[in-house]
Structure 1
């Protein structure tokens, strides 16, 4: 029961994430074709027209209907699998390459650090969105080939933008870990770098891999939101036109950040248009934070020593002579000397 309580945040967070993705696939393959599009005009009970696209949130349309006649709730559901999948794939790439490069960086000397640190600091102090912005713009307008190739390059771009900082962070942890006495002892008896990596460094980082993965997933979601504000969409955009001929660039995949960015200029007209994707982002980030909290608890529990000594039960033996003996049996300590049988020493 205690173990279940400790793992409860991880279980709740995973249940939320899996539920969102599963519901998104169910909608795409089973529900989407059965839904009727929202009506062009709304009428009251008297038959009088009271509105047209877009509709504000209501019981029928929880997140409203945008000016293109699309139900925002089902758009958010449809985009869940794309947004979460992008975040997970990017986080995996970041963690894998960050750990590989970080371990290499941890075994390097000060001369190598002097050369590499200025490059890493450039990524540390400049926001990632500023670095990827011009390249993302070129990729979105079709530079580089077909659609699949563009999406692949976009994912690789937002993946590798964080690897220099991850390399530095993990490398610094490895350098500190290598200062331990048992590492120095291994080197003295002839252990090489490959042996140290396999037997010591990898097991040391293994407990941190999952935590790094969740942290990077949350950071990717934040980066996607920032790109959406600049109207840069993963997967490309499609231009939709309103009746008056006004066109808007919309995401092809209903990715949440793209939904926020594409409707950014609609806030003065329909301020509720970004409520749906914003709530979806909040719920998803909250779920990943729950998983992160559970993992941190597990790591902290592993670091706490399990064996505790009962210092309060230790008695004073100052009155014993140098050649008096103590007999330890069954968790209690009896003095062999009869006149000192009152002293007790616990384990």
Structure 2
């Protein structure tokens, strides 16, 4: 447990933040303590949102008068759940397909790589934008349908790299002497998966899931700059951003953190607290997850190397005639 001290601390912090956000309806104001106008004793308007940080509004308010710290507490759950869900689905589906290709259809690996070769040269964000533009201005579409479609696109973008990675790892494990020994003793592919591959793939899966969380957070952030928010956009917009054609600036419907940054990134010069708070929070999330990733890399890869060495020491050397890695040679008297 000492080797995973940072992982435990980081995971605990993320869990606490997630629980606070999920329980927001029990303690937080439904309108995010909204205050648009301030009146004097005579009822005249003397000030209007956004308001800078103060004792009443710790992190200030948005242009719509919503308290920033309440908005952040409410919206972080959508950022964390979306990133974690996409990462897990990528690893599960990509890992299964990668193992199947490596064990039962190795000839498909080359075609699979060639088919998705273009995704190595075309930025993932460009593919995501093209696929998500149709739902930027949905008509009578349920939020659940929008979110489902967005998650499918995000999973699809990372699916090829995870599949190739899983297939490469499986190929390397199949070359090890302990797996070859199992094949020589008559083990089938399902036995190899259960007894030989899963203990290794489970550890790699945890590490790669954390890596995919970081990748998902990055692409969600980039999408928000193009007003492609998780959960869709609020057509009511943001006060004070109407363009010459009368179209309001879109706002995130879910208040997730990447969306808050994307809709307010132009506020740096005028009202920096509106964008600085979610940006700092997003940076802290990435810092925690990256800390977990580095510790897992140092520990998991080191442990796997030690396990491989121990298994090799325990194995008895096989006769030279039985060390083939391809087809078997039958010996006759």
- Classify 1:101/1:259 alpha carbon distance in 2 versus 1 (closer, same or farther; 3 Å): same
- Classify 1:210/1:241 alpha carbon distance in 2 versus 1 (closer, same or farther; 3 Å): closer
- Classify 1:124/1:248 alpha carbon distance in 2 versus 1 (closer, same or farther; 3 Å): same
- Tell me how far apart the structure 2 counterparts of residues 206 and 229 of structure 1 sit (CA, whole Å): 35
| Contact kept in structure 2, 1:76 and 1:277, CA below 8 Å | yes
Q: 2:28 aligns with which of 12, 26, 31?
A: 31
Residue 334 (structure 1) aligns with? none
Residue 329 (structure 1) aligns with? none
Residue 286 (structure 1) aligns with? 287
- Tell me how far apart the structure 1 counterparts of residues 163 and 195 of structure 2 sit (CA, whole Å): 20
Residue 314 (structure 1) aligns with? none
Residue 278 (structure 2) aligns with? 277
- Classify 1:159/1:231 alpha carbon distance in 2 versus 1 (closer, same or farther; 3 Å): same
Residue 7 (structure 2) aligns with? 10
Q: 1:54 aligns with which of 45, 50, 71?
A: 50
Q: 1:117 aligns with which of 106, 113, 117?
A: 113
Q: CA deviation at 1:189?
A: 3.2
Residue 221 (structure 1) aligns with? 217
Q: Unpaired runs of 5+ in structure 1? A: 309-347
SS of 1:249's partner is strand
- Classify 1:241/1:83 alpha carbon distance in 2 versus 1 (closer, same or farther; 3 Å): closer
Deviations along 1:285-337, one digit per CA (max 9) or x if unpaired, are 1221232233234314524649x9xxxxxxxxxxxxxxxxxxxxxxxxxxxxx
Structure number with greater Rg is 1
SS of 1:60's partner is coil
- Tell me how far apart the structure 2 counterparts of residues 137 and 26 of structure 1 sit (CA, whole Å): 33
Equivalence map 1:227-242=2 (5 Å) = 227-240=223-236
Q: CA deviation at 1:34?
A: 9.2
Residue 93 (structure 2) aligns with? 97
| Contact kept in structure 2, 1:238 and 1:251, CA below 8 Å | yes
SS of 1:240's partner is strand
Deviations along 1:42-65, one digit per CA (max 9) or x if unpaired, are 88xxxx987431123344323321
Q: CA deviation at 1:221?
A: 0.8
Residue 321 (structure 1) aligns with? none
Counterpart check, 1:136 vs 2:136: no
Alignment TM-score, normalising by the size of structure 2: 0.81
- Tell me how far apart the structure 2 counterparts of residues 135 and 296 of structure 1 sit (CA, whole Å): 33
Alignment TM-score, normalising by the size of structure 1: 0.78
Q: 1:177 aligns with which of 168, 173, 192?
A: 173
Deviations along 1:79-136, one digit per CA (max 9) or x if unpaired, are 0111111111111111111110111222266642332222232223322111111221
CA RMSD of aligned residues (A): 2.9
Q: CA deviation at 1:11?
A: 1.9
Counterpart check, 1:88 vs 2:89: no
Residue 41 (structure 1) aligns with? 38
